[in-house]
A and B are shown apart, each in its own frame.
Chain A
Amino acid sequence: METNVQTKETIAKKVEKKPLEKVLIICAKGAIEDVYAALVMANGAVMEGIEAKLFFTFFGLDAITTKQMNNLHTGTIGNPAMRMPGGLPFPSILGMIPGVEAGVSSMMKSQMEKLDIPPVDEFMDMITAGGGEIYACKLATDMFKLEMKDLSEHVKDIITIGQFYEMADGDRTQIIFT
């Protein structure tokens, strides 16, 4: 009888779901697709009631630097997944022509706008409105000579990676690196 109860409990434990409670997302690159991957994940988390913290470091800092954040580009050189509008491969040599990178980037942005994906600053508005927090990396800001005044109003603080790890203090926490 006792064994029977135990078995039932074990089965119950097996099917118990443990939903994610917190995500810590690190963005170290500054191309449109890298930054948006981080933003979509963070926004998607807060929309699901999952706590989200974003940490921008190295070239990812462009995404939170007031001067750069709304002018992000995508790389047109050395990107094998890049296609021409009709689906033909995009020759890397085209990407070297001045203005092509800007053109491709603005096309990407207009495609995203059609899907109701906002510009970077507005996206950060949405994330912080849902309780998400945005941080800048201390080491990288020192390296790029950036201070709080250079960064978006959405940036809560400049912190070390150690301080960021301290935020991963729950059972159901995941750290994601893009």
Chain B
Amino acid sequence: MGQTVIAGVSVDLNDEGYLNDTSQWNEEIATEIAKEEDIELTDKHFEVLHFLRDKYTAGEQLTIRKVGKSGITDIKGLYQLFPGGPLKKSSRIAGIPKPASCV
């Protein structure tokens, strides 16, 4: 996809719509990407997104189990926040690479 303007900022997206450069992310961009996924972001969503970004930056492998144990929401809640792709969609909206995890 290359350079795409999201929320007034030109960002670098890969073919699957994930940000190539995590540092280009901000909450406005998240809101716009979430709209494409038909998700209206709430404070709870942002808590999850920031959690994912923190863990990603710390070099940790992300799993839905980890999010479920974060204290932010349980796994059922995570599915409700990001229907049809709890880790895939949340990662995309969080501006981090597509998760390479099977759990």
Contacts and interface: CB of A to CB of B under 8 A. Distances in A.
Given A40-B102, A118-B103, A126-B64, A47 B75 contact: no
Interface string A116-131: 1110001001100111
Interface residues of A, number: 17
Contact of A129 (B61, B76, B83, B101): B76
B74 to A, nearest CB: 7
Contacts of A170: none
Given A126-B64, A129-B74, A130-B79, A117 B84 contact: no
Size category, B interface: 20 to 34
Interface in B37-72: 61, 63-66, 68
B17 interface: no
B75 A40 contact: no
Interface string A63-78: 0000000000000000
A89 interface: no
A48 B35 CA distance: 19
Interface of B: 61, 63-66, 68, 74-76, 78-79, 83-88, 101-103
A115 B103 CA distance: 9
A117 B75 contact: no
Given A118-B65, A126-B68, A48 B75 contact: no
Chain B contact residues: helix, strand, loop or mixed = loop
Contacts of A49: 83-85
Contact of A131 (B74, B78, B79, B85): B79
B37 to A, nearest CB: 11
B97 to A, nearest CB: 16
Interface in A122-151: 122, 125-126, 129-131
B86 A116 contact: no
Given A44-B102, A47-B87, A126-B103, 14 more contacts: A40-B103, A47-B88, A48-B85, A48-B88, A49-B84, A115-B61, A116-B66, A116-B101, A116-B103, A118-B103, A125-B75, A126-B64, A126-B65, A130-B79
B61 to A, nearest CB: 7
Nearest to A116: B63
A43 interface: yes
A49 B89 CA distance: 10
A118 B102 CA distance: 12
